[in-house]
Amino acid sequence: MKQRAVVLLSGGLDSATVLAMARAEGRECYALGFDYGQRHRAELRAAENVARALGAKEHRVVRLDLRAIGGSALTDDAIAVPDAPTEGIPVTYVPARNTVFLSIALGWAEVLEAEEVFIGVNAVDYSGYPDCRPAFIEAFQQLANVATRQAVEGRPVAIRAPLMHLSKAEIIRRGVAAGVDYSMTISCYDADEAGQACGSCDSCRLRRAGFEAAGVPDPTRYR
């Protein structure tokens, strides 16, 4: 029987790569996404297509209302998505997002009796979000080790972040080797309803530079 894994899947470049990597390791993958009130809702359709193309056993989308607390350009229309680099942690950071997402993924993993949860966080070519750093993943692993019945019974869920120390170019190369069609993915923080990218937000800049550094044609549809 294949090992089961829950894979957080946003529809972006990184999470699609992680799904492909988990599948390549022989995991039976259960893709999990979130409709949390994000500005860039086109990523939800992208995630559905990616999950199907990369052979996820199941794809679920959990609805959350993070607009209720706001505090981010992705969940508050009154805060603009920056079109140039900014100092410090950018306003596109969504407070506690990965903590919430991983908590729900951990719960589903226990229901499925899955051994692992995969997440596509990266601390090399990234925006400086605090919940994308090794320290966060290590801390959440410690939480997972004590938070569930499965863990108490000696079978804690492993939190896997295989992209953590890779450059964006390295991520893209690995994804291409694993069969990811990046034209299906959407990374833009301000994508329109058709899924076309703005080309100027932080995520677009990191994505474009990654394709250039990898020597791979950029399939992104820009406005």
**Do the Cβ atoms of 203 and 46 come closer than 8 Å?**
no
pLDDT, tens digit (0-9, with 9 covering 90-100), for 121-130: 999 988 899 9
pTM score? 0.96
- In terms of Cβ atoms closer than 10 Å to its own Cβ (0-12, 13-18, 19+), residue 133 is middle
Nearest CA to 128 out of 88, 187, 69 is that of 88
Q: What is the pLDDT of residues 136-187, one digit of tens each?
A: 999 999 999 999 999 999 999 999 999 999 999 999 999 999 999 999 999 9
Q: Over the stretch 5-25, which tens digit does the pLDDT of each residue have?
A: 999 999 999 999 999 999 999
142-173 burial, b for 16+ CB within 10 Å, e for fewer?
eebeebbebbeeeebbebbbbbbebbbbbbbb
Rounded distance between C-alpha atoms, residue 129 and residue 166, angstroms: 16
What local confidence, expressed as pLDDT, does residue 85 receive? 84
Contact 72, 91 (CB under 8 A): yes
Q: What type of residue sits at position 180?
A: V
Distance of CA 150 to the CA centre of its chain: 25
Domain ranges of the chain: 4-214
Write down the residue that tokens 């990369």 correspond to.
54
Q: What is the CATH number of domain 4-214?
A: 3.40.50.620
